Chain A
Amino acid sequence: MELIECKDLCKTYGTGDLEVRALDGASFSVEKGEFVVILGPSGAGKSTLLNLLGGMDTATSGTLRVGEKTVTALSEKELSAYRRKDIGFVFQFYNLMANLTALENVELAQGETGMTAEEALSLVGLEKRKNNFPPQLSGGEQQRVAIARAIVKNPLLLLCDEPTGALDSRTGRAILGLLSDLCRKDGMTVIVVTHNAELGKLADRLIRVNDGKIVENALQTAASPEDITW
């Protein structure tokens, strides 16, 4: 069975004249352990799709199943639990809590099962900086803390929205290497959103979005992060 099954997913913002169809009948599925890249121009609806996958927003119509759960049928409380247990989220702007240390930021997401916060930090190579506060870390380091926070609970899905958007190419490559390692070595399902076509080469599965619709959904052989240029 596929890990993700998405059927006719729609999301509209606003009403009447101001109505925007951010997602217009998206259907696709993703297997467990795949490294998925979602590509598309700005405003295509990539973030909207990712937010729906992560249970941060509710769809206007259509169904979305992740693992055993039908996400589109969950209540707000259940969505909260879904985010807590099953989803790891990495944002373009890290979104760490400035007044918690790196370690505490990770602990925030630590569950009963999964690894400990320190393990997660050493996985991203930041065990030495665990007692620093985010403003004392570089952008790349902050993003690694964010990734540690996302993976500490061993999520079903790791969702990343433009994770390298605010980083230079070398740091960006390191982050992507880290994400693909997580997928290859630890068997985590990773979905990365980007508008950078070059990054598409890293994917096992490439999904192209345009104007709220899925225009391509293809399996491919992934390249290694060292091989791509951007």
Chain B
Amino acid sequence: MVRRPNPAAVLRRRIRREIRDNFLQFLAVILIAFLAVTLFCGLTANYKKLERRVDVVYREGSMPDVFVLTSGLEEGDREFAAALEGVEAAESRLYLTAESGSSQVVLAVTEGTPTLSKPITEAEGSIFCDEHMLFRLGAEVGEAFPLSLSLDFGSLLEQATGTPAETVLSLLDLLLLDGGVNVFRQEALTLQVRVDGTMLHPEAISASSTSAGMLTMTREDLNGLIEAALRENFTEAGVTAILNVLAETDLSNQILLQVADGQEDAVTEALRDWFGNKETSNLMMVYDRESSPGNAVIESDIRQAQMLTYVFPVIFFLVSVLVISTTITQLINREHTAIGTLKGLGFSRGAILRHYMGYGVVLCLLGGILGVIVGPILIPAVMDIKNNLLYQLPNLAPPFAFWEYGACLLLLVGVAALVSFLVCRREIALKPAESMRPVAPRTARMTAFERSRLWRKCPLSLRMAWRNIVRQKGRALMVILGVMGCTALLVCGFGIDNTLDNSVYTETEVLFPAELNLTLEDGADLPSLTGITFESYARQNGQLQSDSGVRDAVILVFSADTQMFGGGTLSDEGGLLSETLAQKLGVGVGDTLTVICEGIAREIEVTGIYRSGFTQALVLTPSNGDLFGLEPSYAYGKITDPSLSQADAAALLSSMAGVQSVTTTEDTLQTAEDILATVRIITATVKVFAVLLAVVVLYNLSLLNFRERFRDIATLKVLGIPNGQIAASLIWESMALTLVGTLIGLPLGYPVMVLMLTINQTELLTFLYLIQPLSYLISAAITLVTSFAVNFLLGKRVRKVKMIESLKSVE
């Protein structure tokens, strides 16, 4: 029996052959789909992974839901908190800031093995610190490092014994060993700590250079360490006496609570009431997990990563969908006569539809699936290089975001199918006889330009380019839109860098041009050092109130003729307000604010506005600053001797009497970079992808144009027109469209950037938007050069067009 191939099988074979013949075109579609899906899924995986890593630390480390910070727990506090409705577990601990060398260390001391906010570690023992801290101290597990505790032992002893501190201290002076020192009279008690191992800790996720290290131990460990420190200075009797006193003292100052879901607010309220009803409240703060300082940082980073996922790749995705639709439309239009023929042969509409929808769906699915696989593997891996420098989190595989990936794939494939369907339906609706004839160009009427005198002067290649653009408005529009999207993305990418740089530059060079920022000890005089000019200033946190609300703000006081503040001329009449605050408070120059600082409220006029990304402050002169009793306890230092480096100056100054601490501009820049690192790396990734997209989009659209004009090219070759001239016409056309797309895309870069950065703005961080002319130039150059290169390469293919074969068929 003769094997009868079924028509569908023949069509499938046709698809395979079609794919082989149009390999590059199809490859371009696959690539575009791949890039779009990779970027979207990759960035989604990145933030989901980060989120999950945080979740794991929170779960395994039993991150508390509510934190109660007090100046020292009192009778009944603990019991009250533990008995509140919704509270599932409660634990108290001592939490204080200590120092090791120049590094800050947060010390958390629990009564026994912690049950909330506990270290995640595989090591045995009970004294742990985070890896980053150990690294910064240059210490190792088991090796001792010094830790200075600034506990106010005097008042502790006074409380415990009911005797005035001075009396107790004098008593202790009598119990000293030969050469021993009464360490309680010193500012801080230095312990020699050996850690049993490193840990991950829910409160020590951040590893940036600005965050403190975290050290956990039990009360027993702490007593042991104190005892060791005492034995070097006190006699046996002294040590025993002090330890007895300490053992009876409750040092705890925090309560950690695990609360049933949804009860956090009620519990927080109840606690505020409890402490508020006391005669003198020992409460410092109550906050929930969400607003705990460590969490706020990582949450905002995750949110940044997530938002960027949705803004950048979405634009990217739209451009891709656009390009894919064009390609499919053109591919099917090219099949105009083939569709007519298939219908003439009696293929059912359904079979033809399925056949042609197959192309788009299969191509997008191929690229998309590849993207779903590669994106979540590649992009989080790249991002983790930075993430792992910024955070201490467990290593996990990126989660499979089923819904997001599914929606992304479905959207892409759906659009491909829909476009194929619409185009095909139009073709199928024609009668077979109609569709077997070639389509007449839609507008055969001439434009005014074509009838003009100038037209006759244009070279033919230019005229053909013009006609092609005008006659094929749809395709021309696609090229323009595609190029526009790529240019806008590039401008946006470069613009974000410019904006970040500008915000940092304005802060460190314009507003506060001094290189050194000093914190002075109480009542200390300005230091003097040759090569540096100093000027003192005051700084205090306060609140500003206007008709439209209250905002936290910093109050800065500079002398009226200051050299250290570049935000505008200060006046004794009022103060300079940051633009962000002015907007949030709804005030302008000439308006009056109520300023609350140090418990004093005063009316102050806004005499000017300055712009800053980081310092949201009201800047006063002493005539107003004195109203709040603000004393200058800080100083700025400008280095006038060019041979003096910032680090050297800082080192010199910090060893001087009266200087508590010094930060340099270099430190500040480092901090700024730490904060902005996430944004930067994502921006870089998207820039790379935008260029890739530009290449693929331009290549694809140019190739499309090229294939469509195959016959024309062959005809021109037969007429003996040199290959170069033919290519020139194609390049003219593409470049003209690219230029238009670029010109429209350039100004769009700004709003796209603002949109993206606005989402990332926080109370602390506002952006001083700026796109340098150079960024526009580079973006335009990248697009134009890419376009030219792509078209130039395609132009080379004119040589390969076979005249005879191309001219044999109709159409």
Contacts and interface: CB of A to CB of B under 8 A. Distances in A.
Contact of B718 (A47, A56, A98, A133): A56
B715 A57 contact: no
Given A80-B723, A97-B715, A136 B804 contact: no
B5 interface: no
A108 B719 contact: yes
A108 B720 contact: no
A132 B440 CA distance: 12
Nearest to B446: A131
Interface stretch (A87-95, A179-187, A189-197, A204-212): A87-95
A133 B441 contact: yes
B589 to A, nearest CB: 62
Contacts of B10: none
A130 interface: no
B185 interface: no
Interface stretch (B460-468, B649-657, B695-703): B460-468
A30 B436 CA distance: 40
B168 interface: no
B467 A82 contact: no
A99 B720 contact: no
Nearest to A97: B712
A84 B807 contact: no
A151 to B, nearest CB: 13
Interface string A89-115: 101010111111100100111000000
B444 interface: yes
Contact of A99 (B438, B441, B804): B441
Contacts of B272: none
A99 B810 contact: no
Interface in A32-68: 47, 51, 54, 56-57
B722 interface: yes
Contacts of B807: 91, 93, 95
Interface in B787-811: 799, 803-804, 807, 809-810
A97 to B, nearest CB: 5
B720 A83 contact: yes
A135 B441 contact: yes
B576 to A, nearest CB: 64
A228 interface: no
Given A56-B804, A97-B712, A99-B441, A109 B719 contact: yes
Contacts of A136: 440, 444
B468 A104 contact: no
Contacts of B467: 99-100
A83 B717 CA distance: 8
Nearest to B471: A99
A92 to B, nearest CB: 9
A102 B803 CA distance: 22
A116 B719 CA distance: 16
Contacts of B810: 93
Contacts of B718: 54, 56, 83, 89, 95
A89 B721 CA distance: 13
B460 A95 contact: no
B49 interface: no
A99 B716 CA distance: 13
Interface string B680-718: 000000000000000000000000000000011011111
A175 B809 CA distance: 21
A56 B803 contact: yes
B719 A83 contact: yes
Contacts of B464: 97, 99-100
B290 to A, nearest CB: 63
Nearest to A133: B444
A84 B719 contact: yes
A108 B711 contact: no
B722 A80 contact: yes
Contact of B444 (A77, A93, A135): A135
B716 to A, nearest CB: 7
Contacts of A108: 460, 716, 719, 721
A179 B716 CA distance: 22
B626 to A, nearest CB: 81
A223 to B, nearest CB: 30
Nearest to B715: A95
Nearest to A136: B444
B473 to A, nearest CB: 13
Contacts of A135: 438, 440-441, 444
A85 interface: yes
Nearest to B716: A108
A219 interface: no
A57 B471 CA distance: 33
Contacts of B720: 80-85, 87
Given A80-B723, A131-B446, A95 B711 contact: yes
Given A51-B804, A57-B804, A99-B467, A104 B722 contact: no
A181 to B, nearest CB: 23
Contact of B441 (A51, A89, A98): A98
Contacts of A89: 718-719
A85 B719 CA distance: 9
A57 B460 CA distance: 26
Nearest to A96: B715
Interface in B707-762: 711-712, 714-723
Nearest to B799: A76
A100 B441 CA distance: 11
B798 to A, nearest CB: 11
A191 B480 CA distance: 47
Nearest to A146: B715
B716 A80 contact: no
Nearest to A105: B715
**8 closest cross-chain pairs (CB), A and B:** A84-B720, A83-B720, A135-B440, A99-B467, A133-B444, A95-B715, A56-B803, A109-B719
19 contacts: A51-B803, A51-B804, A54-B718, A56-B803, A57-B803, A80-B721, A81-B720, A83-B720, A87-B720, A89-B719, A95-B714, A96-B715, A97-B464, A97-B715, A99-B441, A99-B467, A107-B460, A133-B444, A136-B444
Given A85-B720, A95-B711, A99-B441, 15 more contacts: A47-B804, A56-B718, A56-B803, A57-B803, A77-B722, A83-B718, A83-B720, A84-B721, A93-B807, A95-B715, A97-B464, A99-B468, A104-B460, A133-B441, A136-B440
